[in-house]
Amino acid sequence: MELPFVVVTILFCLGIYTIITQKNLIKIVLGFTIVESSLILIFVLVSYQPGGTAPILDKAYHLVVDPIPQALALTSIVIGGSVTAVMLALVIKIQKRYRTLNVDKLRKLKG
Amino acid sequence: MDMIVTLLMIFLLVTAFFMVFTKQTANAVIAFPIFGSILVVLFVIFQAPSVAMAEAVITAGLATGFFVITFNKTKDSRKE
Amino acid sequence: MVKKLYKLGLVVSLGMFLFVLFSDIHNLDRTSKNYLSEHYISEGVQETGAINLVTSVLYDYRAFDTLGEATVLLTAATILAFLVPVTKADMLGTTFTIIVYQATKYLIPFIAVLGVYVIMFGHLSPGGGFVGGVVMALIPILLSLTYGIDFSEYKLTPNTKKVVEDIGAIGFILLGLLAVLTGNNFLANGQAGFPLGNAGELISAGLIPYLNVMIGIKVGAGLAIIFNSLMKEQ
Amino acid sequence: MQAAIWLIILPLLTAFFIGISKVFYSYKLLFPLVTGSAILYLYLLISVIDHSYPPKVYSVGDWGLLGINIMVDPFSGLLLLMIALLFLPVIVFSLKYITFHTHNYFILTYIMTAGIAGMVLTADLFNLYVFLEVSSLSSCALVALKKTNKAIEGTFKYLVMSTLGSFFILLATILTYDLTGTLNMAEISVAFQDIPFQIKSILMAFFIFGYAIKIGLIPLHAWLPDSYEESPIPYNVLSSGLVMKSAVYALIRVLYILFGFDFLDETGMLQIGVVWGVVTFLIAHLLAFQQSNVIRLLAYSSIAQIAYITIGLFVGTERGLIGGNFHILNHAIMKGTLFFVIAIFHYSLTAVDIKDLKGLGFRFPLLSFTFVVASLAIVGLPPFNGFISKWLIVEAALDAGFIYAAFSILVGTFLSLTYYLKVIVTLYTKTDKTIEMKEPGLALKLPTIFLGSLCIVFGIAPSLPLSLIDKIPTFLLDHEEYISILLGG
């Protein structure tokens, strides 16, 4: 179980890095999906036990993985998909208004 | 089994880094479903078939469609 | 350059934090059993009547989350519906060979059957309302991709989809309110006396299959709206 | 307690029915549906607030501790009181004010209210995240409603920042589940006693970072003025009054119930919170001073006021909690009044810059007087409500030994006085210009004057809301009581 968590850490940080440094708007949205996938991977890893079976009890199994994180993961997938769709719609809108996908070239809103 | 998981994890990282650091957005958009598919296989190995199905259909399927449409619509400022 | 290094430093320190956290959690010896999941695994099938425990968590123990999540999807569909202009679309101005058109025509019934299967058997096998809904949403999406968005919206107007989506959401709440009518709490299933049937049969698990159907049509219509709106986006 | 669940279902049902009525009846059904539901909602809110003490638990789906519980206690009662005070005025105001995408505006407003009510009521960590997403996504949607360039860009910024915050909250939620095996707040709190200090502090840092983005504490505030600038102004009333406050609520709930007061004291989070608050309001006041757009000015002022609230809640004494909570309520009322007045000016003559307001004090005598009252209240002058809550916070800070915080609040008061005076002086400067304008109707004036009069009423008789607020600290400072009620119910 050591390696998966290292991978999750790297993916999470890679996603955050993409969001805060990349200039291309589509890349930024991709960064969001990477972070979200890493979170879902954490959900699945939390539920997993070595030797367990999937939580579908058509027979009596002696070791079953935890069903709760999987249900929560489904919820997060749907929420993440909706957020991604909204973001992409806004990206198209921004591109049509400003004719650019570069974050730096957008109107600098005074912070 | 551990071997497969390790390999898939390495592929996952490679795809993710490729998506982020490739120069052309087209490559990133096309690498995205590969990333999703590797995740799907991993979820099946980790005994989460429901999550795998949702991931396959929503992230690797529909979200890719969304990205492709966005990419298509924004083609006139792609060269930057 | 300094700014970039600063950001890199931020991310690396975040990674260190996460790594320390994960290794700490890993080194924690956990002797106590996790009573909640133990209970779900040992009693879940009797209490909810669903074999697929993920479905029983999603639509029975924690059905309230599902309502929230369906609302998020509806919100996304609403946003995309008002962001698009009224003008007609220009998307993927491609014409296909006849094979594509014919294949689409013959594919649609199979997709419909698959979608209905995934929705209806959600409490018995992997799948359920969300996945099945997405599969159903593929029908209008395929129509828009091959025959063009005009044809797709002629067959299924945006207003129809909007109504179907709202009916799905209202249906979910009304099914939850059925339990209130019998004097129980919102979204109660087995406790409110709905027959759970024999676990493993199609008509079992009380309200869960109906909730699945509602979520299925809601998600299908919502995603079709989202996809078509993205395509129409100017 | 059946009414508590209706607080979440009724707005959702209304939103869905508006969606259907849009297709079949166009505008015919909108007015009765929206106002009828808002009035019914007000009735439900009052009946729930009335029963908020002693706290009650309602188990969704009859599962008890196995499923999701919702709980009403005085702290959530306060937030519900804010919804009760703001929601019906905003709906009445919007029916007249909003002329574009009317149906979508009301659908999203109702969904946002349902999300906030869900956040306030729920006692489940993942449910909290779901409703947080509901409220923030619909809030983003409302920002984009005008579809101008600034609005789209502001929305994107808002969505990016708020999703970033959500990720950290979700990460902390998953790991909390992994550590404790449950999502019920009371059970987590009990199980957290065995978790090592280091893990708990890192988890707390994630929660705080995530919610700090949603609250808009400096330096994570940049999205907030941008998202306010071009959004429909009645939405700003709800946004500064409820959306930001619900994030504050969730943060306080998580910190005080999950981690417990002793842990906060041990990690030094209380000191950090106070310092963060002081820095935030000083910078926010300075930034507000430079703005030429009234809405941006009010947005920065909101950040500063939230910082006062943060100081009050993090001082860590009973007095501080009472002051902070009273300021939550007062800020919602005062900022609501200010935004309403600006909305009427915008409606009548599309004025949003300070220089456009010249001479309006003589043209709208009553409304301008309301504006003056509300801005003096927000600066913190007696005899208005803002003075009392600020005074409570200063007193609490002095008691707890945060002399620098108390002193900086006084400095901040003078800073805020300067920029509000700038607006007020402009309002009462005579001009010879004659301006074309639309006469605002009663539907616009009545909610404004209602909220403005509350500023005076709560200033003269603070015992009215304080009778509810006085009960809050017992459930926050000592989380045992909350836990025992939640586990027992």
Domains of chain A listed by start with CATH number? 2-102 (1.10.287.3510)
| Domain containing residue B16 | 2-75
* pLDDT at residue number C91: 56
Q: Where are the domains of chain C?
A: 49-232
Burial of C100 (0-12, 13-18, 19+ CB in 10 A): middle
Mean pLDDT by runs of 10 across the 234 residues of chain C is 87 89 82 76 80 84 88 90 70 72 88 89 82 89 83 82 90 86 80 75 78 89 88 75
Residue with tokens 């430093």: C9
How far apart, in whole angstroms, are the C-alpha atoms of residue D335 and residue D371? 10
How far apart, in whole angstroms, are the C-alpha atoms of residue D459 and residue D319? 18
- Residue D109 pLDDT class (50, 70, 90 cuts): very high
Taking the CA atoms of D445, D447, D448 and D449 in sequence, report the sign of the dihedral they define. Answer: positive
Of C23, C51, C65, C19, nearest in space to C215 by CA: C65
- State chain B's mean pLDDT as an integer: 87
Q: Is the model more confident about D211 or about A49?
A: D211
Q: Residue D136, Cβ neighbours under 10 Å: how many?
A: 27
**pLDDT above 90: residue D169:** yes
**pLDDT above 60: residue A108:** no
Residues of C in contact with D60 (CB under 8 A): 63-64, 185-187
Average of per-residue pLDDT across D218-225: 85
Of D315, D278, D298, nearest in space to D410 by CA: D278
| Alpha-carbon distance values, D38 to C179, D15, D21, D45 (Å) | 25, 11, 17, 10
Inter-residue contact C27 to C19 (CB < 8 Å): no
**pLDDT above 80: residue D208:** yes
Tally of domains in chain B? 1
In DSSP notation, D318-353 reads HHHHHHHHHHHHHHHHHHHHHHHHHHHHHHHH---B
Instruction: Work out the percent of chain D whose per-residue pLDDT is above 90.
Output: 25
| Domain containing residue D261 | 2-488
Lowest mean pLDDT among D27-36, D347-356, D418-427: D347-356
- Return residues 190-219 of C near A (CB < 8 Å): 200, 219
Q: Across the interface, do C52 and B72 touch by the CB < 8 Å criterion?
A: no
* pLDDT at residue number D129: 92
Instruction: Work out the percent of chain D whose per-residue pLDDT is above 70.
Output: 99
* pLDDT at residue number C33: 63
Q: Across the interface, do A41 and B54 touch by the CB < 8 Å criterion?
A: no
**pLDDT above 80: residue B58:** yes
Does a structural domain hold residue B22?
A: yes
**pLDDT above 70: residue B61:** yes
Question: Which residue of D149, D153, D174 is in closest CB contact with A39?
Answer: D174
Lowest mean pLDDT among A102-106, D20-24, D308-312, D315-319: A102-106
How far apart, in whole angstroms, are the C-alpha atoms of residue D127 and residue D133? 10
- Return residues 416-475 of D near C (CB < 8 Å): none
Burial of C181 (0-12, 13-18, 19+ CB in 10 A): exposed
Q: Which two tokens stand for residue D320?
A: 């501080």
Inter-residue contact D303 to D280 (CB < 8 Å): yes
Does a structural domain hold residue B46?
A: yes
- State chain D's mean pLDDT as an integer: 88
User: Residue D132 corresponds to which amino acid?
Assistant: L
Residues of B in contact with A17 (CB under 8 A): 20
Does a structural domain hold residue B36?
A: yes
What subunits touch chain D, counting only 3 or more CB pairs under 8 A?
A, C
Q: Which residues pair with D59 in a beta bridge?
A: D69
Q: E strand or H helix at D437, and its extent?
A: none
Q: Is the model more confident about C197 or about D463?
A: D463
**pLDDT above 90: residue D461:** no
Residues of B in contact with A39 (CB under 8 A): none
Of C122, C204, C206, C130, nearest in space to C168 by CA: C130
Average of per-residue pLDDT across B8-16: 91
* pLDDT at residue number C86: 65
* pLDDT at residue number A111: 40
Lowest mean pLDDT among D3-17, D18-32, D161-175: D18-32
Smallest CA–CA distance, residue A60 to chain B, in Å, is 16
Does a structural domain hold residue B68?
A: yes
- Residue D137 pLDDT class (50, 70, 90 cuts): very high
Does a structural domain hold residue B40?
A: yes
B&C contacts, CB < 8 Å:
40
Q: Which residues pair with D56 in a beta bridge?
A: D72
User: Residue B42 corresponds to which amino acid?
Assistant: L
Test the D interface: residue of A68, A70, A83, A91 with most D CBs within 10 Å: A83
- Residue D115 pLDDT class (50, 70, 90 cuts): very high
Does a structural domain hold residue B25?
A: yes
How far apart, in whole angstroms, are the C-alpha atoms of residue D138 and residue D132? 10
- Residue A110 pLDDT class (50, 70, 90 cuts): very low
Q: Is the model more confident about A110 or about D21?
A: D21
Smallest CA–CA distance, residue C59 to chain A, in Å, is 9
* pLDDT at residue number C89: 55
Smallest CA–CA distance, residue C145 to chain B, in Å, is 11
Does a structural domain hold residue B80?
A: no
Q: Which two tokens stand for residue D253?
A: 């709930």
The b-or-e profile of B14-38 (16+ CB within 10 A means b, else e) is ebbeebbeeeebeebbbbbbbbbbb
Tally of domains in chain D? 1
Alpha carbon D483 to its chain centroid, in Å, reads: 25
